[in-house]
Amino acid sequence: MCKKISITGLLPEEISSQLDIKPSFRGVQIFEWLSKGIDSFDEMTNLSQALRQQLSEKAQLRCCKVSKILEDSDGTVKLQITLDDSLAVETVLLKDRENRKTACVSCQVGCAMNCAFCQTGKLGIARSLRPEEIVEQFFLLEKHSGPLDNIVFMGMGEPMMNLENVRKAIAILTDKRGRNLSERRITLSTSGVIKGIYDLADNGPLIRLAVSLTTADEKLRENLMPIAKTNPLAELRNAIDYYAKKTGRRVTLEAALLGNTNTSEQSAKNMINFARGIDVNVNLIPWNPVEGLPFKEPSNNECRRFVEWLEKAGLNVTLRTRRGREIGGACGQLGKTLYKKNSDSKKLS
């Protein structure tokens, strides 16, 4: 734990009150500087020397540091980030064809949900991240790659299991006095925590929601995603419908396509039935290989056929291109290079 106050996890009013800074507009000035990703309090040139000294005595500017940078030939960048208790997470920069840049951030060290096809799930969970650890991932990535357009909570961990800290990080990143990122440019991806979906719909923030459906075959989903046993499909569908209606935002259904597992015509029909009558689009992700897991990549043909079945039924479908795989930075691959030494014991906890 940082011994000093972690300033990147605070809103302007909290900076003023927790660090006893007067007058209060100074809190806003400090917050503005932090959102520019500065590396030292001395860069806060509109503050007096005495105030900068006071800050460096009481506050910690960063509790995360970049321990490794990996770059894929397709433009994907992965930062390995060490936390102050020596645990680590990964943060990924994704570039699309229009050169828009998206930060894919982690919200937990590992993940407790244990989805059968996911590298992060294999690790188990060590702990959830604090708001400052989420915010700093974004700032560190901007420092490396320049201004970013979007942020997706699709890195390590299940954001609904750390919702309060994710909320606080979003409040900081969207605050008009600082980084001023639009809520429309933020997406939270959940494995289907129904309670969290209602909470987000009712209490905000008004961000985009993605739900990792994977398959709409109840038994198969239970086998692939243990969370499905307590969050059944019919109730999940109601929650998605509620979110879309309450927020006016279309929800994305995600499905990692596993070769010969969830790509049959029947699987497509089940997904079509699930999606009928709710405001969703579908994002398909060809499975990225994870060592030691008993799945295989779907063939191009398999993916194409699946897309066609859904499109024929009138669904809006995107098939994600495989990106970041050279550096283990693709969906579901995060964590492997971090905890390789642990991989015999498999679990973080």
Catalytic site positions? 90, 331
Cα gap 4→59, rounded to integer Å:
5
Token pair for 18: 């927790």
| Least separation in angstroms between CB 214 and ligand SAH | 6
Whether 215 contacts 257, CB under 8 Å: no
| Part of the chain binding ligand SF4 (CB under 6 A), chosen from 49-57, 60-68, 116-124, 179-187 | 116-124
Cα gap 180→32, rounded to integer Å:
10
Cα gap 112→121, rounded to integer Å:
7
Cα gap 14→31, rounded to integer Å:
10
115 binds ligand SF4 (CB under 6 A): yes
Residue 280 touches which of ligand SF4, ligand SAH, none (Cβ within 5-8 Å per kind) = none
133 binds ligand SF4 (CB under 6 A): no
| Least separation in angstroms between CB 301 and ligand SAH | 18
With CB atoms as reference, the residue minimizing the distance to ligand SF4 is 121
Residue 165 touches which of ligand SAH, ligand SF4, none (Cβ within 5-8 Å per kind) = none
Nearer to ligand SF4, 255 or 303 (CB): 255
Number of Cβ within a 10 Å radius of residue 289: 15
**Both ends of the chain: CA-CA distance in Å?**
18
Nearer to ligand SF4, 212 or 288 (CB): 212
Q: Give me the residues that bind ligand SAH (CB under 6 A), please.
A: 117-118, 154, 158, 189-191, 212, 214, 254, 256, 285, 287-288, 290, 331-332
Q: Which of 265, 275, 253, 278 is nearest to 309 (CA)?
A: 265
113 binds ligand SF4 (CB under 6 A): yes
Element (H, E) at 51: helix 49-58
| Least separation in angstroms between CB 221 and ligand SF4 | 12
284 binds ligand SF4 (CB under 6 A): no
Number of Cβ within a 10 Å radius of residue 281: 14
| Least separation in angstroms between CB 330 and ligand SAH | 7
| Least separation in angstroms between CB 31 and ligand SF4 | 31
Dihedral sign, Cα of residue 19, residue 21, residue 25, residue 26: negative
Nearer to ligand SAH, 117 or 138 (CB): 117
Cα gap 255→267, rounded to integer Å:
11
Residue 154 touches which of ligand SAH, ligand SF4, none (Cβ within 5-8 Å per kind) = ligand SAH
* Residues written for the chain: 349
Whether 45 contacts 33, CB under 8 Å: no
Residue 102 touches which of ligand SF4, ligand SAH, none (Cβ within 5-8 Å per kind) = none
Nearer to ligand SF4, 19 or 83 (CB): 83
How many whole angstroms from its chain centre is CA 20? 33
Number of residues that bind ligand SF4 (CB under 6 A): 11
How many whole angstroms from its chain centre is CA 321? 18
Cα gap 209→201, rounded to integer Å:
9
DSSP three-state, residue 289? coil
Give strand pairing partners of 281: 252
Q: Which positions from 179 to 198 touch ligand SF4 by CB under 6 A, shown as an x/- string? A: ------------x-------
Cα gap 55→316, rounded to integer Å:
51
| Part of the chain binding ligand SF4 (CB under 6 A), chosen from 24-32, 83-91, 107-115, 235-243 | 107-115
Q: Which positions from 143 to 182 touch ligand SF4 by CB under 6 A, shown as an x/- string? A: --------------xx------------------------
Within 201-260, the residues that bind ligand SF4 by CB under 6 A are 212
Q: Which residues bind ligand SF4 (CB under 6 A)?
A: 111, 113-115, 118, 120-121, 157-158, 191, 212
